[in-house]
Amino acid sequence: MSRAFVNEDSSGSGRARRSFDLPARGDPGFEAAAAAALLEAAIAGDTESAEIATGFYWGERSLRRHVERLLTRAREAGDEDTIRAAERFLR
């Protein structure tokens, strides 16, 4: 059978997509949740899944204020992984 007719992986990247618990896009908290999802996914090495789930790309300028807030919280908590991810996002 031709590979053109075999759907081995519908995601295209060869790995399962992560799922994220996000509010509806119209929810006022959506952007903050999207920023958190992007950082969480970056820590896990799967930014692509968060980009697909949120509709935002890594480094999205409109999310900067949310990432800055998450960075402040991470510094207060000593969460080194989130600190590194947030600092990369903000570059």
> Domains of the chain: which residue ranges?
27-90
Work out the pLDDT band at 18, boundaries 50, 70, 90.
confident
Token pair 């399962």: residue: 16
pLDDT at 12 > cutoff 80: no
pLDDT computed for residue 8 by the predictor: 41
Of the two residues 53 and 18, the one the predictor is more confident about is 53
pLDDT in tens, 40-77: 999 999 999 999 999 999 999 999 999 999 999 999 99
In whole numbers, what is the pLDDT of the chain averaged over residues?
88
- The predicted model scores a pTM of 0.81
